A = this chain, B = another copy of it.
Amino acid sequence: MNSPVDPQFATRIRASFGRQKAMALIGASLGSVAPGAVEIALPFRGDLTQQKGFVHGGIIGMIADTACGYAAYSLMPADCSLVTVEYKMNILTPATASLVARGEVVKAGRTLTVARAEVYAQDGKHVATMQQTLMMLAGRPDHPE
Contacts and interface: CB of A to CB of B under 8 A. Distances in A.
Contacts of A111: 111, 135
Contact of A86 (B23, B56, B81, B89): B89
Give the dominant DSSP class at A's interface: mixed
B19 A142 contact: no
A124 interface: no
Interface residues of A, number: 58
Interface string A75-118: 00000010111111111111000000000001101011010100
B65 A22 contact: no
Interface of A: 16-17, 19-26, 46-53, 55-59, 61-66, 81, 83-94, 106-107, 109, 111-112, 114, 116, 126, 129, 131, 133, 135, 142-145
